[in-house]
Structure 1
Amino acid sequence: MAERVDITQLVGEVLPDWDEPWVEAERERFRQLRLHRLEEAADRALDDGHHHLALQAALSACAAEPLRESAHRRVMQVHLAEGNPAEALRHYHTIRRLLRDELGLPPASATRAVVSHLLGRPVDTRSA
């Protein structure tokens, strides 16, 4: 089994009450490290079939940086792996709206690709 990352250690800010220039650089370094480690933890957990851990890590990355599409892609991938395409599509629409409202941008092609097979599909109208 792959090494597990304790995501509870990937929280907080570096010296939050300090305002020296070098601290800002360290905060950004730690922020980027945290985001990459959370995404790596999500990938490992998903590969190992631990969907709940993968989702927890991916959602933590999304919470830490709401506009980070790579983190949102992992959330959608976990939902798809769990057999929850509606959840994956719901999350896609959430990030789509967020990017539009905050940046005036559409999702990246890599983000759309995760759920492209779900977009624009006709609804099954057969009688039950």
Structure 2
Amino acid sequence: MPLDEAAEAQRAARVAQDVGPVAPGLNQFTTDILFRDLWLRPGLAPRDRSLVTVTALVAAGQVAQVPYHLNRAMDNGLTRTEASEVVTHLAFYAGWPNAFSAVPVVKSVFDSRAARSGAGGGRK
């Protein structure tokens, strides 16, 4: 899978700044193994990897990680409608509290994308 070098450089710089001083090994694994190995494997399209990641984060109640990964998912082609449907579906499989906890986070992603685009924040 091709790597968006500019986006990867921005992501790596943010992680290096935030994580590197505290856990240098985690910083290195995040770049080398997670984003330069796992995310580039050809078995799943980037959109599908993003969908799986967002789903896993919501299901595990890890909503702090959702904004980055939902934005990435939407950059990879996931629509607002699909993202909304994921949250609805997860209420039944991962628990109502996890779905409800994700709603304000998902809304903030939608709102910030709408503000950037000056419209609906991406494809419906």
Normalising by the smaller structure, the TM-score range is 0.3 to 0.5
TM-score by length of 2: 0.39
Ranked by relative contact order (alpha carbons within 8 Å, sequence separation 6 or more), the top structure is 2
